[in-house]
Amino acid sequence: MTQAADTAARAPSPRGAVAAYYSSALAIRTADAGSAAAVVLLAQKTDGVAASALLAACITVPHMFGPLSARVMSSVRSPRVALAGSFALFAVLFGGAGVLVQRGDIVPAACALAVAGFLGPIFTGGLSSWLGSLVPETIAAQRRAQSGDSLTYAVSSSVGNSVVGAVATAVSAQATVGVLCALAAAAALLVLRLPLQPVPAADRAGASIPNVLRTIVRTKDLRDITIITYGNAFGLGSLLVLATTFARSEGLPGSVGPLLIAATGVGALLTALYFVARPLAWDVMYTARFCAVVSGVFIAAAPFAGVWGAVVAFLAVGACQSVLNTVSFAVRRDASPEHLRASVFVTMAGVKIAVSALGLGLAGLVPVEGVHLAFVVAGLTSLVAGLAPRLRAEHRAPGAAPHTQKATTR
Q: Is the pLDDT of residue 24 over 90?
A: yes
Cα(240)–Cα(245) distance, integer angstroms? 9
* Residue 398 Ramachandran class (φ > 0 left, ψ -120 to 50 alpha, else beta): beta
CA atoms of 60 and 154, how far apart (whole Å): 18
**Per-residue three-class SS string for 171-206:** CCHHHHHHHHHHHHHHHHHHHCCCCCCCCCHHHHHH
SS3 state at 334 = helix
Task: Let me know: does 227 contact 381? Beta carbons within 8 Å.
Answer: no
- Asked if residue 369 lies in contact with residue 99, where contact means CB atoms within 8 angstroms, the answer is no
What pLDDT is stored for residue 44 in this prediction?
74
- The more confident residue out of 19 and 365 is 19
174: Cα within 13 Å, side-chain hemisphere? 9
Q: How far apart are CA 403 and CA 221, in angstroms?
A: 7
Helical packing angle, 14-46 and 173-191, nearest 10°:
160
What pLDDT is stored for residue 344 in this prediction?
94
Q: Is the pLDDT of residue 220 over 50?
A: yes
Whether 274 has a pLDDT exceeding 90, the answer reads yes
Average model confidence (pLDDT) across the chain:
86
Beta-bridge partner residues of 138: 408
The yes-or-no verdict on residue 23 having pLDDT over 60 is yes
Ranking 72-76, 161-165, 268-272, 332-336 by mean pLDDT, the lowest is 161-165
For the segment 92-135, what is each residue's pLDDT rounded down to a tens digit? Answer: 999 999 999 888 888 999 999 999 999 999 999 999 999 999 99
Residue 164 confidence class, pLDDT cut points 50, 70, 90: confident
- pLDDT one-digit tens code per residue, 50-102: 677 788 888 888 988 889 999 989 888 999 999 999 999 999 999 999 999 88
Would you state the pLDDT for residue 318? 93
- The pLDDT value recorded for residue 81 is 94
DSSP-assigned letter for residue 250: T
Q: What is the pLDDT of residue 254?
A: 65
Check pLDDT > 80 for residue 405.
Answer: no
User: What's the CA gap between 74 and 361, in Å, rounded?
Assistant: 31
Residue 301, SS3 per DSSP:
helix
pLDDT at 50: 66
Of 36-45, 92-101, 324-333, which gets the smallest average pLDDT? Answer: 36-45
- Mean pLDDT, range 139-144, rounded to an integer: 93
